[in-house]
Amino acid sequence: MTAEASTLACQQCGGALQVGLLDKTPTCPWCGSGNIVKRPPRPGLPQPSFVIGFTKSADEVKRQVKAWSQQVSFWAPGAFRKLDVELLRPVYLPAYLVSGVVTGHWSARAGYEYRTFKTRKGKTELETETEWHSVGADYALRVHDLLVSASQRVSNRELQKLEPYDLGRLARYSDAAIVGWPAEEPARDVDSVDAQLMTEVTEAMEPRLRALAPGEKVDDFTFTSTLVDPAFATVLVPVWTMMVRWHAKKPRVRVLVNGQTGQVTGTVPTSWLKVTLAVVLGLAALAGAIWWLSQEGRLS
Amino acid sequence: MNTCARCRSVLEAGDLRCPVCSLPPPTAERGEAVTSKVLRCSDCHAALRYSEAFAKTVCGFCGAALELEVSTDPMEHAEAWVPFTVSKAAAIASLTRWLGERGFFAPADLAEASRVDTIHPVAWAAWIVSGSANATYGTDVYGAGRKASWGPATGRFDRQLDLIVPATQGLSREEVDDLGAYDVALTQPDALPDVPGEDFGVTRTSARARILEGVRDDALAQVGLRHRGLLRKTKVEVMLTALFTRRLLLPIWVLAYQYRNKKFRVVIHGQREQTVVGTSPLSPWRVLAVIVAALALVAALLGALALYEQVR
């Protein structure tokens, strides 16, 4: 899908409004009014049914990102802890809230211990052995509220790192819920999110099915799953996007923040200086240990 | 009554999605052309903006706010009352009969010496759940192993639901189970005269969680019936396929009786006088006599055994 622009008249001042194909709520450059664009239905792209409103302000988000930068991995460059937030921008991202029935079959080996006398080299001892049974069953279970990104700009993997959203605060979609805030139209239709959806289904089903396996020990657990008759509801979720600058000569890093909970995610750079120093120190310690052991015939 | 387009379950006022299958109701179709609009305040006509501080859309000029339509979670209230078919006199007669049938350990004069202290009708709160569910389970069964004591059992079954899930605070789970089923075909929307009705006292979300718990308990009981014997680590996953819930107030007679200055409580089903649930005193002399007889029997057996050893 290409981001073709079209021109509409601002409904506040009549000025020309450039609207990208994915822009849902463009702001008029002439009067600053928030317009809401209505488009005809497109096949495979359900209209928004729900919205989760922003509750985090820009200032709160900046503080949250600063706090996150202090807690990143040891291997991150030291300068990353003094980052500057740039291009901070809120956006309502489109995602599919999927529910449906998952059918399939699970199987495993269930082990039960028992005590038995064993004779080895003429000596009889009481030993514990495991009796294994093949178990499994067909199943049909319902999955609710799997959230899959329908956005072109934020991948499903990134959205997963921002979850969970409190779906108890779900509101029915209305233009009033997003007016004045940038919002994106769905860019991925329901068929094109199949792979991501099945990954989420598998992740959701595994602990539930594994819990059904009987036995004192469980081994060789496998399962198949097919999502039957899924219902897709489009939901607009609040996300703050920003670029963070941490070094004058290094590329900026994109950071995303959950606009409802403040959960932060981003790709943290690695300090190759720290990694090299650690490797050199490790090698030096190893060489020292070998030298010490080789002295006075300690190393045979 | 709105129903879900997919599973036909009932959608209640304030539900944004189906409570069983999560399907949202269809949204209105859009026009054919790309257009834009600006939302204006209905009071001062200024352009509106959603406010993250208030979590609603507010007018920056006059402060008017547009509430968003969110899922509501109202308190549960009874929709109908199930009338009594057991009269007060029949309940007292039922208690007298029940006291006379308390078995060997009850005092011999229990029925004659007991005196009814209070008797009053009460309507207790319950969800009457019908519909269907599919359960998948796994469990350990004692005796199902080859060499080990325990072995596995797994399976799946369909279940037609016809459950009473108690919302009551006044009756214990055991009392509810012992009271059993009610005929809820005949109900009345108006309160029964002079009968206090119990309040449900929970929100819709809590109610749905309790109902689901009731359905899961029912499935667990079914697993117990399918595999006779001792079970452990039974895990059940239940999928509701249809759910219909009624919030009813069910009739009981609550009686308190005295026996030798001690009070006991009894509950009698408001539709079946023969269903009596309660406690009654034990005769200490009879209990003592049985213990003494048992000890004497053990002593006699040991004596006989010792005599047999001597003779041999």
Look at B38 and A10 and tell me if their CB atoms are within 8 Å: yes
CB pairs under 8 A between A and B: 197
Structure confidence at residue A5 (pLDDT): 67
B contacts of A8 (beta carbons < 8 Å): 34-36
Nearest 5°: phi and psi at A166?
Answer: -80, 100
For B276-289, give the secondary structure using H, E and C.
EEECCCCCHHHHHH
Look at A174 and B145 and tell me if their CB atoms are within 8 Å: no
Cis before A164? omega within 30: yes
Type of residue found at A294: S
In the structure, what pLDDT confidence band is assigned to residue A3 with cuts at 50, 70 and 90? Answer: very low
How many Cα atoms sit within 13 Å of B53 on the Cβ side? 6
B contacts of A233 (beta carbons < 8 Å): 17, 22-24
Structure confidence at residue B31 (pLDDT): 61
For chain A, give the secondary structure using H, E and C.
CCCCEEEEECCCCCCEEEEECCECCCECCCCCCECEEECCCECCECCEEEECCCCCCHHHHHHHHHHHHHCCCCCCCHHHHHCEEEEEEEEEEEEEEEEEEEEEEEEEEEEEEEEEEEEECCEEEEEEEEEEEEEEEEEEEEEEEEEEECCCCCCHHHHHHHCCCCHHHCEECCHHHCCCCCEECCCCCHHHHHHHHHHHHHHHHHHHHHHHCCCCEEEEEEECCEEEEEEEEEEEEEEEEEEEECCCCCCCEEEEEECCCCCEEECCCCCHHHHHHHHHHHHHHHHHHHHHHHHHHCCC
Instruction: Work out the minimum CA distance from A83 to partner chain B, whole angstroms.
Output: 25
**B230 contacts chain A (CB < 8 A):** no
Token pair 């396996």 is at which residue? A213
In the structure, what pLDDT confidence band is assigned to residue B255 with cuts at 50, 70 and 90? Answer: very high
- Check pLDDT > 50 for residue B243: yes
**A15 contacts chain B (CB < 8 A):** no
Structure confidence at residue A4 (pLDDT): 59
Type of residue found at B73: D
Look at B68 and A56 and tell me if their CB atoms are within 8 Å: no
Q: Write out pLDDT tens, residues A211-243.
A: 999 999 999 999 999 999 888 889 999 999 998
Q: Write out pLDDT tens, residues A119-166.
A: 888 888 899 999 999 999 999 999 989 999 999 889 999 999 999 999
Structure confidence at residue B258 (pLDDT): 93
Tell me the two tokens of residue A250.
Answer: 């290094």
CB interface of A with B, residues 39-78, below 8 Å? 39-41, 47-51, 53-57
Structure confidence at residue A2 (pLDDT): 42
- Check pLDDT > 90 for residue B147: yes
Chain B residue closest to A35 (CA)? B38
Type of residue found at B260: R
**A103 contacts chain B (CB < 8 A):** no
Structure confidence at residue A176 (pLDDT): 81
- H/E stretch holding B291 reads helix B284-311
- Check pLDDT > 80 for residue A210: yes
Structure confidence at residue A40 (pLDDT): 80
Look at A135 and B152 and tell me if their CB atoms are within 8 Å: yes
- Check pLDDT > 90 for residue A267: no
List A245's β-bridge partners, or say none: A84
Tell me the two tokens of residue B162.
Answer: 């016809």
Structure confidence at residue A216 (pLDDT): 96
Q: Write out pLDDT tens, residues B284-312.
A: 899 999 999 999 999 999 999 999 988 87
Question: How much of chain B is helix, strand and coil, in % rounded to 5?
Answer: 25, 35, 40
Token pair 């009549």 is at which residue? A14
Q: Write out pLDDT tens, residues A46-88.
A: 888 899 999 999 999 999 998 998 888 888 888 888 888 888 8
Summary count for chain B: helices (H), strands (E): 5, 12
What is the mean predicted confidence (pLDDT) over A183-194? 86
Instruction: Work out the minimum CA distance from B222 to partner chain A, whole angstroms.
Output: 16
- DSSP assignment of B73-128, as one string? -PBP---EEPPP-S-HHHHHHHHHHHHTTS-TTS-TTHHHH-EEEEEEEEEEEEEE
What is the mean predicted confidence (pLDDT) over A198-216? 94
Nearest 5°: phi and psi at B93?
Answer: -60, -40
Tell me the two tokens of residue A187.
Answer: 């860019």
- Mutant choice from A55, A57, A131 vs B, greatest count of B C-beta within 10 A: A131
User: How far apart are alpha carbons B265 and A166 in whole angstroms?
Assistant: 46
Residues 6+ positions from A150 with CB-CB distance below 8 Å: A45, A94, A95, A96, A186, A187, A188, A193, A234
Structure confidence at residue A36 (pLDDT): 82
Closest to B122 measured CA to CA, from B272, B249, B246: B249
Tell me the two tokens of residue B309.
Answer: 């050893």
Other residues' Cβ atoms within 10 Å of the Cβ of residue B4: 22
What is the mean predicted confidence (pLDDT) over B109-122? 90
Q: Which residue has the higher pLDDT, B86 or A193?
A: B86
Look at B50 and A229 and tell me if their CB atoms are within 8 Å: no
**B9 contacts chain A (CB < 8 A):** no
Q: Write out pLDDT tens, residues B57-85.
A: 877 777 777 777 777 777 888 899 999 99
Token pair 């199943």 is at which residue? A139
Closest to A258 measured CA to CA, from A72, A52, A98: A52
What is chain A's mean pLDDT, rounded?
88
Type of residue found at A276: T
CB interface of A with B, residues 153-212, below 8 Å? 168-181, 208, 211-212
Q: What percent of chain B has pLDDT over 70?
A: 96
User: How far apart are alpha carbons B54 and B41 in whole angstroms?
Assistant: 16
Closest to A135 measured CA to CA, from A221, A202, A224, A206: A221
User: How far apart are alpha carbons A144 and B23 in whole angstroms?
Assistant: 10
DSSP one-letter code for B29:
P
User: How far apart are alpha carbons A285 and A279 in whole angstroms?
Assistant: 10
What is chain B's mean pLDDT, rounded?
88
A contacts of B36 (beta carbons < 8 Å): 8-11, 17, 19, 26, 35-38
Token pair 């012992």 is at which residue? B178
Nearest to B33 among A40, A129, A176 (CB): A40
In the structure, what pLDDT confidence band is assigned to residue A275 with cuts at 50, 70 and 90? Answer: very high
Nearest to B38 among A11, A181, A231 (CB): A11
Classify B170 as helix, strand or coil: coil
Structure confidence at residue B27 (pLDDT): 66
